[in-house]
Amino acid sequence: MLLAGAGGHAIELLDILISEEMTANLAFYDDLTAITSLHGFPVLKNEEMAKEYLSKTPDFILGTGNPQVRMMFYQKFTAWGGTHRSIKGRGIAFSNFSNSNEADIFNLCFIGANTHIGTGTLINTGAQIHHDVRVGEFSEINPGAVLLGASQVGDQCSIGANATILPKVKIGNQVIVGAGSVVTQDVPDGVKVIGVPGRILDL
């Protein structure tokens, strides 16, 4: 399995893989630093090495939190013949009525009934996704964030740690919500929201 990225998020992901005994043939991919090994696992340094690896071991995992980088790795590795694998951590309260098979869900999260979480999205440690919530593709829901009933989050969004999205609030695509913010009203595409209550940051 090829883990896309070799930073702090990837190491947290490695802990989950170790606990689930999923480290056979594991390698990291990182073309930005000089490291060639990480905690005893090889780090591939260029596209040629990654392509060769995926031709033999096609499964890959997204090992970075940034929404745009997650989507970039997904598109590249899929084009090179890779097969995306999602990860589910431990201690998740997981509804039987959730459609979230293609999302990464870290330890100690709550995933409620009738939820839909898109391909490549990351639900980080301790986040709560309540009933009828919809989250788009390649978004990042950071630790402790709470998405309340029937709220919506678009594609490539970043919802900050401990932020709260109130019921039925709709957030557009490529939105950044600051840590600890409370979003009480709908938010258009491509903006930043901060504060309690959340307000759109003037650019």
Q: For 25-64, b where at least 16 C-beta lie within 10 A, e where not — what string? A: ebbbbbeeeeeeebeeeebbbeeebbbebbeebbbbbbbb
Q: Do 2-84 and 87-195 share a fold?
A: no
- What is the tens place of the pLDDT at every residue in 121-130? 999 999 999 9
Share of the chain above pLDDT 70, in %: 99
Angle at 73 between CA 69 and CA 75, to 5 degrees: 115
| Crossing angle of helices 47-56 and 67-79, rounded to 10° | 60
pLDDT for residue 158 = 98
Q: Which CATH superfamily is domain 87-195 in?
A: Hexapeptide repeat proteins (2.160.10.10)
Query: Which of 33-37, 129-133, 139-143, 194-198 is predicted least confidently?
Result: 33-37
Whether 150 and 169 have beta carbons less than 8 Å apart is answered as no
Torsion of CA 190, 156, 171, 202, to 10 degrees: -30
Stretch 150-168: mean pLDDT: 98
In this structure, are strands 37-38 and 41-44 parallel, antiparallel, or unpaired? Answer: antiparallel
Q: Per-domain residue ranges for the chain?
A: 2-84, 87-195
Residue 1 pLDDT exceeds 90: yes
Residue 149 pLDDT exceeds 80: yes
Stretch 95-112: mean pLDDT: 97
pLDDT for residue 146 = 98
pLDDT for residue 2 = 97
* Residue that wins the pLDDT comparison between 21 and 203: 21
Confidence category of residue 138, pLDDT binned at 50, 70, 90:
very high
Stretch 12-34: mean pLDDT: 94
Q: Domain 2-84, what fold?
A: Rossmann fold (3.40.50)
